[in-house]
A and B are shown apart, each in its own frame.
Chain A
């Protein structure tokens, strides 16, 4: 399941960045990929829709949000955590 989460998150980020999923590296930051603040909000929305989860993210202060968006890998981990929590 976890691999699928990773693939789906990368797919979402790749779509926002308008690039091939293969080019999205786990160590890339959203900034590296050219995703601006509006793109971040849209990415979060897509993640919520895809996994039917609620992502704790405040666009006013992204750094202090519990949801770590510092790079693609941290987003994948955070989504896995939320998906696991939801599954109970």
Chain B
């Protein structure tokens, strides 16, 4: 069995748009939760979330790119860029042919769905942009990461609700451990903070109106955030041979399911 190490990491969320900023905020105990801003938010009873503020996609992506990138894809690419810069890897030849990406997501391109359902149902338009399907599909983020970094090996998306990214990491881990590939980018991306996304969650009646307090006696629900995190998982000998900075080692992974209830873990 091969050993699997982490040689790059990247993230974006309400606390910041890179790992050092987010790490500092976590260390300081800062909260990224606050009032959300998007169309029709006033029609919701849940109005707080971990929304990324001051975000300007046009500063990071070209107009052509943005026609194909849902917000969840944009976040994945931002996190992947930081992870790749940290790892110092470039993919070509044999390494490119086996390198891959496994990302988790639950909602996929939900913002694209929301905008376009709004357009055809509410605004009564009879035409949507031709790239709605490639924008909204759950594997869009993983596919764009693969194209940006020339990852020609396994490229796919894992969807297991809140466990998606964790399971994506597990799949990546196994791909390297078993010798399928020497490098896999893994992590996940989510962006459900739009009217339809939050309205659906309101329906479940599990959302808190005032804050996120896990394990606290006065906890009254969950709060949604958005963002992405991507790690570079690399085969240990490969990382060592190139003198990579090793951030940590993954030593095991297992998956189970309680096979009992669709919303309530037992």
Chain A interface residues (CB < 8 Å from chain B):
18, 38, 41-42, 44-45, 48-49
CB distance from B135 to the nearest CB of A (A): 12
Within 122-148 of B, Cβ neighbours of A (below 8 Å) are at 127, 129-131
CB distance from B226 to the nearest CB of A (A): 27
Residues of A within 8 A of B130 (CB): 38, 41-42, 44-45
The answer to the question of B266 belonging to the interface, with a C-beta cut-off of 8 Å to chain A, is no
Residues of A within 8 A of B67 (CB): 42
In the assembly, what is the distance between CA of A49 and CA of B119, in Å? 13
Q: Is the CB of A48 within 8 A of B127?
A: yes
Which residue in chain A gives the minimum CB-CB distance to B62? A18
Known: A38-B131, A41-B131, A42-B129. 12 other contacts (CB 8 A): A18-B64, A38-B130, A41-B130, A42-B67, A42-B130, A42-B131, A44-B130, A45-B127, A45-B129, A45-B130, A48-B127, A49-B127
- Where chain A touches its partner, the secondary structure class is helix
Which residue in chain A gives the minimum CB-CB distance to B126? A54
Which residue in chain A gives the minimum CB-CB distance to B68? A38
In the assembly, what is the distance between CA of A45 and CA of B71, in Å? 22
In the assembly, what is the distance between CA of A42 and CA of B135, in Å? 14
Residues of B within 8 A of A42 (CB): 67, 129-131
Residues of B within 8 A of A18 (CB): 64
Q: Report B49-67 CB contacts with A as 1/0, cut-off 8 Å.
A: 0000000000000001001
In the assembly, what is the distance between CA of A42 and CA of B130, in Å? 6
Residues of A within 8 A of B131 (CB): 38, 41-42
Q: Pick 15 A–B contacts, CB within 8 A, sort by A.
A: A18-B64, A38-B130, A38-B131, A41-B130, A41-B131, A42-B67, A42-B129, A42-B130, A42-B131, A44-B130, A45-B127, A45-B129, A45-B130, A48-B127, A49-B127
CB distance from B134 to the nearest CB of A (A): 8
Residues of A within 8 A of B64 (CB): 18
Residues of B within 8 A of A38 (CB): 130-131
Residues of A within 8 A of B129 (CB): 42, 45
Residues of B within 8 A of A49 (CB): 127
CB distance from A43 to the nearest CB of B (A): 10
Within 108-132 of B, Cβ neighbours of A (below 8 Å) are at 127, 129-131
6 closest A-B pairs by CB? A41-B130, A45-B130, A42-B130, A48-B127, A45-B129, A42-B67
CB distance from B124 to the nearest CB of A (A): 13
In the assembly, what is the distance between CA of A44 and CA of B131, in Å? 12
In the assembly, what is the distance between CA of A41 and CA of B134, in Å? 13
In the assembly, what is the distance between CA of A25 and CA of B39, in Å? 42
Residues of B within 8 A of A44 (CB): 130
In the assembly, what is the distance between CA of A49 and CA of B128, in Å? 9
Which residue in chain B gives the minimum CB-CB distance to A44? B130
CB distance from A53 to the nearest CB of B (A): 10
CB distance from B176 to the nearest CB of A (A): 33
CB distance from B144 to the nearest CB of A (A): 13
Residues of B within 8 A of A41 (CB): 130-131
